[in-house]
A and B are shown apart, each in its own frame.
Chain A
Amino acid sequence: MSVTITVNGKAMDVEPGLTVDGLLTLLNVKREYTAVAVNREVIRKSAYGTLKLSEGDKVEIVRPMGGG
């Protein structure tokens, strides 16, 4: 059993009950200067450990890039 979520536009099968924190660890993403939105809502860092991802969730993980 797994749930399918979309992370930065790509489909991904993950374990049920995976938290945002768990996802970041799984993807080896540094926490510093990183932000996460789930289904268009920006997630507070304090909620990373408790927010569980569900089937169909759209996750965006962003950080600073070069720009003007």
Chain B
Amino acid sequence: MYDTNLVLGGKEFTSRLIVGTGKYSTLPIMRDAHEASGAEIVTIAVRRVSLPGTGESILDYIDTKRYTLLPNTAGCYTADEAIRTCYLAREAGLGELVKLEVIGDQRTLFPDVMGLLEATKTLAREGFTVMPYTNDDPVMAKKLQDAGAACVMPLGAPIGSGLGIRNPYNIKIILETVTVPVIVDAGVGTASDAAIAMELGCDGVLMNTAIAGAQDAVSMARAMKLAVEAGRLAYKSGRIGKKLYATASSPLEGLPDWTS
């Protein structure tokens, strides 16, 4: 079936799965999981260099010709911190595609949407392609779009929780509310969660822990690839309606007469 590509900042991506680089048991496993996931975009954090700076770099395990890097602002609690982190990422040569997080609470890691909106406005004006991690709130999604966000990334459930898509109805309303791509970010625990997001009509799914924390990260990465593709294909295929009672699949006519 014909399908369009995911477009972010004028760049086209065939894969609709975005994966992280955190929490892997080893860097070679991370590299193999990236390969198995088929992802074309990988998220990274920006952190202090350990000094002296002789240690190995995560970028020794990411082919930057093949993968688009998506620096995040994880750990930022204000718009100012998030904006400065994006400037650092750009100066480090990591590009202008950014996963914008402004965290509002340490325990839930829910976003501070006021700070998020402010940072989105500033960064979009400064030429960044802003991908904001937000609540599953259609009103905020619309505000982020109007502020210049390149997509909106509602959470399915808290970051790292693996609770799945807790409010599919809100995600559905977001999809009807905005015209920019909708990418579910956070909450995915297993393949069916990713498939559900895609079946709803989402344009992509972003995940880290679900793959990195699995007992076999590489095979889970492949499961997620298949789930995202299956969910997308099912969405594009137009599923049947739900009915309370049965509808026979076999003809009712032409049954042999077994009465004696």
Mask, B8-25, CB within 8 Å of A = 1, is 000000000000111110
| Residues of chain B contacted by A36 (CB below 8 angstroms) | 91
Chain A hits for B160, CB < 8 A = 68
Number of A-B contacts (CB under 8 A): 115
Known: A37-B84, A64-B57, A68-B74. A29 touches B49 (CB 8 A): yes
Is B48's CB under 8 angstroms from A62's CB?
A: yes
Q: Which of A7, A33, A40, A65 contacts B51 (CB 8 A)?
A: A7
Contact B84 A68 (CB under 8 A): no
In the complex, the answer to whether B52 meets A27 with C-beta atoms within 8 Å is: yes
CB pair A44 B92 closer than 8 Å = no
User: Is A11's CB within 8 Å of the partner chain B?
Assistant: no
Could you tell me if A34 and B54 are in contact, using CB atoms closer than 8 angstroms?
no
Chain A residues numbered 20-46 whose CB sits less than 8 Å from any CB in chain B? 24, 27-30, 32-37, 40, 42-45
Q: Is the CB of B51 within 8 A of A27?
A: yes
Chain B interface: which size bin?
35 or more
Interface check B134, CB cutoff 8 A? no
Give the residues in chain A near B53, CB-CB below 8 Å: 24, 27-30, 34, 61, 63
| Complex CA distance for A45 and B71, rounded to whole angstroms | 19
Q: Is B45 an interface residue (CB 8 A)?
A: yes
Output the residue of B20, B24, B48, B209 with the most chain A CB within 10 A: B48
Asked if B30 CB lies within 8 Å of chain A CBs, one says yes
In the complex where A40-B84, A63-B57 touch, is A29 in contact with B51 (Cβ < 8 A)?
yes
Residue contact A33 to B93, C-beta cutoff 8 Å = yes
In the complex formed, the residue of A with least CB distance to B27 is A66
A60 at interface by CB-CB < 8 Å: yes
| Interface presence of A50 (CB below 8 A) | no
What is the minimal beta-carbon distance from A40 to any residue of chain B, in angstroms? 7
Instruction: Knowing A33-B93, A40-B84, A44-B91, say if A68 contacts B22 (CB, 8 Å).
Output: yes
- B46, A63: Cβ atoms closer than 8 Å: yes
List, in ascending order, chain A residues with CB within 8 A of B102's CB.
Answer: none
Q: Which residues of A contact B135 (CB under 8 A)?
A: none
Which residues in B have their C-beta under 8 angstroms from that of A42? Answer: 84, 87-88, 91
Instruction: Please judge, given known A-B contacts A8-B48, A67-B45, A68-B209, whether A35 and B88 are in contact too, CB under 8 Å.
Output: yes
B252 at the interface (CB under 8 A from A): no
Give Cα A60–Cα B48 distance, bound, in whole angstroms: 7
Task: Tell whether B37 is near chain A: CB-to-CB under 8 Å.
Answer: no
B212: A residues at CB distance < 8 A: 68
Apart from A27-B52, A61-B53: 13 A-B pairs, beta carbons within 8 A: A27-B53, A28-B52, A30-B53, A33-B57, A33-B93, A35-B91, A44-B91, A63-B47, A64-B58, A65-B44, A65-B45, A66-B44, A68-B212
| Interchain residue pairs A-B with the least CB separation, the first 9 | A68-B208, A67-B45, A68-B20, A29-B53, A35-B92, A66-B22, A65-B47, A64-B44, A66-B21
17 A-B pairs whose Cβ atoms sit less than 8 Å apart in the complex: A27-B51, A27-B52, A29-B52, A33-B59, A33-B92, A42-B84, A60-B88, A62-B47, A64-B57, A66-B24, A66-B30, A67-B20, A67-B22, A67-B45, A67-B74, A68-B20, A68-B72
